[in-house]
Structure 1
Amino acid sequence: MTTKSVGATTARAVLAAAAVLAVSTGSFGTFVAAAEETGVAGQAATAQPGEQAQDSEAAERAEVERILATGGPATRRAAQEALNGTIEDVRKFLRTGQFQTRDVDDQIAVQRILDAAPEGSVTQAKANAALNGSPEDVREFLAHGQFVARETDEKAEVTRILAEAQRDDNRITARAAQKALDGTPADRHEFLVRGQYAARQSDERFKVAQMLGGGSALSEAANKALDGSPEDRHGFLVHGQFVAREIDDRVKVNQIMSAARQDGYLRLVAAAQKALDANTWDALKEFLRTGQFEARKLDEAAVTTPQPPVGQPAEQPAKPAEQPAANAVQPVASATQPAVASVNTAPLANTGAPVGGVLGAGLIALAAGGVLLGAARRRTNGA
């Protein structure tokens, strides 16, 4: 017979004797209650010390496994090492090790928040203060401080985006940012995480569409951007539109130079060629903005109308008188036959010489003949 069976037999004998005594004394109810307590105690007493130790070890290992599943990196490593060791390793981890590694994990978590925080932000300042403080400061920052700091930073960021959108005339983004500012911290966080990007894409599509009426190169590039992805449209606005605008400006300068050649505007041609040879967009823009007008003004000033000499009509350039000496050596004939000179003007007109010019020359000849006639008479009288 085993020790366990002997103990059970003895217990039953004691209970039987007590029952007889209870019946004889009239206290059977009290006996029943006492028997129940004794039975429970007896069952507990029958448990072996080894079984109790096994149950305790299992519970301790289960707690370490729970910590392994929920702890940070340092805590998980230490928990795994404890489970791989003895029961003493498990108990040491539960007594002190888990708290030491938890402090390390908390510091790692704060450091990650610090690394992601914008330069000069409230979150950055609060995280630095926590790391320079006690473990309690670190835990307080993780439990509460980080969220307060993030709300402050996010409100400031939404305000910045609003100002930028108003400056760049991104109206959809501006409206969404203002709505977030008027809302809750959760609204602002949602705007920063998702809303701002959707609003910006709408603004950029609208801006690209506005460029369809530009130059040939600009319109073609804008069409391709509209048919592409949001990244294509953003790239067009940031870079592509300027490449297309430069191409269109180069075409304009070539057109101006070609027209200037036909008009004989040499200074304008030279200015256009100089802008093209510089091979920079700044040179092209400067020519289109001011250079072409300055060169054209110089060319127009260089074109002058020839002025006729004195005594000639404005519509005919100066023409020297024909044979003035011959007219001078025949004063008498001219003076005595004025009708002949008058009649001869018609044939001269038929030769293409202006009538007024011939008349002017005749008047000069007549004036010269009169002077010579007077001198001849004076010589005759003197003789």
Structure 2
Amino acid sequence: MRLTRGVLAAAATALAPALLLTGPAFAADAAPVPPAVTAAAATDGPGTPVDEMSEEELRAAIADILADPDSGRGVEREANEALGGTVEDMREFLKTGYRLAQYEDDKVAIVTILGKPYAGKRVTQEINALLDAPTPEKLRTWLETGYRLAQAEDDRVAVARMLADPDISDALRAAAEEVIDGTPEELRYFLETGQYEVDK
């Protein structure tokens, strides 16, 4: 499923009111996203599987998810629905519902990233590859680690293009040369803010 940036950006706009846009911590304007809760991880203390949790423990586990400021609208909707249901509904949410709701939020986050003006060639390629065969695990992994690295590659290219411009000031050239081998966060900061703080 190869999608253009325009199509995906339009989809993000349409979905935005329904879902909280959850994005990786790397983007300056995106909130960090929590790892998905699994049956093994959703415990109230060591060694308490979801199937053995009491109603109180189930409610506490779901309340913890809701208390996380990075939970998206899909997660919040499903968690609240589970809390209003039976003990089995809560167990089902912790076992599979949270993963699927996070997947919903992650798809919106990825579409939103693709619509960003600084989404370059590498980010676009990786997102299209993800959307060709998406799974909850692939999207989660990319948002947690892959996006940061892909964006850094695009940012490094942007800084290199800046350095290739013969008309930039000596101060901006020095700043770009200093940051081009920096961390992903340093590159993003420089392109978003730092370059405009240089005394030109």
Is the TM-score greater than 0.5?
A: yes
For structure 1, list consecutive stretches of 5 or more residues without a partner in the other structure.
1-54, 204-383
Answer whether contact 1:122 1:152 (CA < 8 A) is retained: yes
Answer whether contact 1:117 1:124 (CA < 8 A) is retained: no
Aligned position for 2:104: 104
Answer whether contact 1:118 1:124 (CA < 8 A) is retained: no
C-alpha displacement of 1:178: 1.4
C-alpha displacement of 1:110: 1.4
Answer whether contact 1:123 1:150 (CA < 8 A) is retained: yes
Aligned position for 1:146: 147
Aligned position for 2:75: 75
Aligned position for 1:122: 122
2 CA distance for matches of 1:59 and 1:119?
A: 42
Task: State the 4+ residue runs in structure 1 displaced beyond 6 angstroms.
Answer: none
* Structure 1 length-normalised TM: 0.35
Q: Classify 1:183/1:95 alpha carbon distance in 2 versus 1 (closer, same or farther; 3 Å).
A: closer
Give identity over the alignment, percent: 36
Letter matched to residue 92 of structure 1: E
Aligned position for 1:198: 197
Aligned position for 2:55: 57
Q: Classify 1:182/1:78 alpha carbon distance in 2 versus 1 (closer, same or farther; 3 Å).
A: closer
1 CA distance for matches of 2:184 and 2:115?
A: 22
Answer whether contact 1:114 1:127 (CA < 8 A) is retained: yes
SS at 2:133 equivalent = coil
1 CA distance for matches of 2:118 and 2:187?
A: 16
2 CA distance for matches of 1:174 and 1:159?
A: 10
What does 1:1-383 align with in structure 2 at a 5 Å threshold? 56-70=54-68, 71-116=71-116, 118=118, 120-135=120-135, 136-164=137-165, 166-167=166-167, 169-199=168-198, 202-203=199-200
1 CA distance for matches of 2:130 and 2:106?
A: 10
Aligned position for 2:5: none
Letter matched to residue 181 of structure 1: I
Aligned position for 2:48: none
Number of aligned residues: 145
Q: Classify 1:183/1:140 alpha carbon distance in 2 versus 1 (closer, same or farther; 3 Å).
A: closer
SS at 2:83 equivalent = helix
Alpha-carbon displacement from aligned partner over 1:88-121 (angstroms, at most 9, x marks no partner): 3323322332222122122122112212154652
Answer whether contact 2:120 2:154 (CA < 8 A) is retained: no
2 CA distance for matches of 1:98 and 1:182?
A: 39
1 CA distance for matches of 2:64 and 2:101?
A: 15
For structure 2, list consecutive stretches of 5 or more residues without a partner in the other structure.
1-52
Alpha-carbon displacement from aligned partner over 1:111-160 (angstroms, at most 9, x marks no partner): 12212154652111111211222313222311321122111111011112
1 CA distance for matches of 2:148 and 2:178?
A: 21
Letter matched to residue 190 of structure 1: Y
Letter matched to residue 82 of structure 1: A
Alpha-carbon displacement from aligned partner over 1:320-339 (angstroms, at most 9, x marks no partner): xxxxxxxxxxxxxxxxxxxx
Aligned position for 2:38: none
Q: Classify 1:59/1:96 alpha carbon distance in 2 versus 1 (closer, same or farther; 3 Å).
A: same
Aligned CA RMSD, in angstroms, stands at 2.2
C-alpha displacement of 1:182: 4.4
2 CA distance for matches of 1:64 and 1:183?
A: 39
2 CA distance for matches of 1:181 and 1:85?
A: 53
**Bigger Rg over Cα:** 1
Alpha-carbon displacement from aligned partner over 1:33-59 (angstroms, at most 9, x marks no partner): xxxxxxxxxxxxxxxxxxxxxx81111
2 CA distance for matches of 1:186 and 1:102?
A: 25
1 CA distance for matches of 2:78 and 2:126?
A: 29
* Structure 2 length-normalised TM: 0.64
1 CA distance for matches of 2:151 and 2:174?
A: 22
1 CA distance for matches of 2:119 and 2:111?
A: 14
Answer whether contact 1:114 1:128 (CA < 8 A) is retained: no
C-alpha displacement of 1:63: 1.0
1 CA distance for matches of 2:77 and 2:158?
A: 38
Higher helix share: 1
